[in-house]
């Protein structure tokens, strides 16, 4: 069970999560994010210290410390309990204050700062459970969660060390608490799994222990069929295939970390998205099973640049293609969408600008056009080739919107279009109206 930052955003919500995780006696591991707003504050503290702005860093830290002092008082109203809890919490702030006064500050120190949010959450939860008389054991993430030299999770290491920690727990322990997001790298230094990494922590743990189910608890009732910040009356999608969920996460659905699905998919472990504020709601179940013959959802990714390269005809077709892709590989820039003819390639990257050295290299292959401020809109569902009509429904919905690129057939689960960022809202509304307006889009009038 992973609980995000909004789920543990206050003393009241920490207590509510404690209710949820103690509601049943089944064995469970609870992964906690930092309290909402904490990681942003810690990031800013690190930035200020890197810029040698000690006073600004201390101002942010003092404000954060005051917030934690207030929430600790609310979570531990008994004075004795509060004193014990605040002594524990204050150790973190003493550590951070010492870093602020250090004469040197490095990237290694910045990673140490970022780890403190999750360490605070787990410490407060464990102390709160102890006050309730609930037996729970902490699993320090820095003792089992590690990445390899390619900065990818070292799954063999994780499995071996996590299993050993669990074996060491007192016999009969049913509840374990651990930190999301944080880890050590291949050299033993404190590191992290990047933003949203608590989801990744949960699925890596689930895969390592081959659990029955992985639950991601947030502040929304599952994955919705469109962006609720733009489209009114969106609804949760109750069932998704692993691939459908991966596509939606990659192309902008914020509820899920884009890479976290893969460990669960490899072990065929269902992932359930649930709402901490409405725990009885069914949420979204992600598994190998899914509803067929349906368009499920729409997601959008911003900050996209489109590049069109037209060959100067000095290279053969296969050589031209190979050199273009080799340049993007050399610059470690992933490509989202591709459309090609014999003499030209159009592609998109998730960047606001094209690096000057890459632009210069591409100009050696031919003429290029670059369009900024673009948005990728992805429509996900059962898009197998023999499900005729879905692509027509999608394109009919966009009949009045300029579309720069279309990608279809690269996956059985999505059709993707590229529009100008200024047309994003209009595109999402049009798709919502045409695909989900009166009823879910289904193949055939009788379905």
Would the annotation count 427 as a binding residue? no
So where are the chain's domains?
Answer: 1-210, 294-435
Q: Which residue from 227, 196, 225, 202 is spatially nearest to 214, judged by alpha carbons?
A: 202
Rounded CA-CA distance 100/116 in Å is 14
Would the annotation count 56 as a binding residue? no
Token pair of 201 as six digits: 């922590």
Return mean pLDDT, the chain.
92
Percent of the chain predicted with pLDDT > 70: 97
Would the annotation count 5 as a binding residue? yes
Would the annotation count 2 as a binding residue? yes
Would the annotation count 229 as a binding residue? yes
CATH of 294-435, one of 3.30.2130.10, 3.30.230.10, 3.40.50.300, 3.30.450.40: 3.30.2130.10
Burial 247-278 (b: 16+ CB within 10 A, else e): bbbbbbbebbbbbbbbbbbeeebbbbbbbbee
Q: pLDDT tens-digit profile of 338-369?
A: 998 888 999 999 998 899 999 999 999 999 99
- Mean pLDDT, residues 324-338 taken together: 94
Identical fold for domains 1-210 and 294-435, yes or no, is no
Would the annotation count 251 as a binding residue? no
Would the annotation count 118 as a binding residue? yes
Burial 221-235 (b: 16+ CB within 10 A, else e): bbbbbbbeeebeebe
Would the annotation count 39 as a binding residue? yes
Q: pLDDT tens-digit profile of 179-207?
A: 999 999 999 999 999 867 899 999 999 99
Would the annotation count 26 as a binding residue? no
CATH level 2 (architecture), domain 1-210: 3-Layer(aba) Sandwich (3.40)
- Mean pLDDT, residues 57-63 taken together: 97
Give pLDDT, residue 315.
Answer: 66
């Amino acid at each position: 069970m992973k609980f995000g930052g909004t789920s543990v955003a206050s003393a009241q919500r920490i207590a509510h999560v404690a209710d949820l995780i103690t509601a049943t006696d089944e064995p469970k591991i609870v992964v906690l994010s930092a309290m909402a707003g904490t990681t942003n504050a810690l990031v800013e503290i690190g930035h200020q210290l890197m810029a040698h702005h000690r006073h600004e860093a201390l101002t942010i830290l003092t404000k954060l410390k005051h917030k934690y002092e207030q929430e600790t008082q609310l979570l531990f109203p008994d004075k004795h309990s509060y004193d014990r809890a605040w002594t524990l919490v204050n150790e973190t702030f003493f550590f951070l204050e010492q870093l602020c006064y250090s004469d040197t500050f490095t990237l290694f120190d910045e990673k140490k700062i970022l780890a403190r949010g999750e360490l605070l959450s787990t410490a407060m939860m464990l102390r709160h459970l102890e006050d309730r008389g609930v037996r729970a054991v902490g699993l320090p993430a820095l003792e089992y969660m590690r990445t390899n030299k390619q900065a990818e999770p070292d799954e063999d290491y994780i499995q071996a060390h996590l299993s050993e920690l669990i074996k060491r727990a007192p016999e009969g322990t049913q509840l374990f608490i651990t930190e999301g997001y944080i880890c050590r790298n291949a050299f033993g230094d404190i590191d992290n799994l990047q933003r949203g990494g608590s989801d990744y922590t949960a699925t890596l743990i689930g895969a390592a222990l081959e659990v029955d189910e992985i639950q991601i608890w947030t502040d929304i009732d599952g994955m919705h069929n469109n962006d609720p910040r733009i489209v009114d009356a969106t609804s949760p999608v109750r069932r998704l295939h692993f691939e459908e969920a991966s596509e939606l996460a990659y192309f902008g659905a914020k509820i899920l970390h884009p890479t976290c699905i893969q460990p669960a998919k490899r072990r065929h472990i269902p992932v359930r998205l649930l709402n901490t504020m409405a725990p009885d709601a069914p949420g979204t179940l992600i598994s190998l099973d899914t509803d067929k013959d349906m368009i499920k959802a729409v997601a959008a990714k911003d900050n996209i640049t489109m590049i069109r390269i037209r060959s100067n005809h000095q290279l053969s077709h296969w050589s031209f293609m190979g050199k273009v892709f080799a340049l993007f590989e050399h610059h470690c820039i992933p490509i989202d969408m591709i459309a090609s003819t014999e003499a030209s390639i159009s592609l998109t990257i998730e960047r606001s600008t094209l690096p000057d050295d890459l632009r210069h290299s591409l100009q050696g292959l031919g003429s290029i056009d670059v369009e900024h401020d673009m948005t990728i809109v992805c429509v996900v569902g059962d898009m197998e080739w023999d499900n005729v009509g879905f692509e027509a429904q999608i394109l009919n919905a966009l009949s009045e919107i300029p579309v720069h690129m279309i990608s279809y057939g690269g996956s059985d689960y999505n059709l993707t279009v590229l529009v100008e960022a200024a047309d994003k809202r209009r595109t999402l509304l049009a798709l919502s109206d045409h695909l989900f307006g009166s009823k879910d889009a289904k193949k055939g009038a009788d379905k």
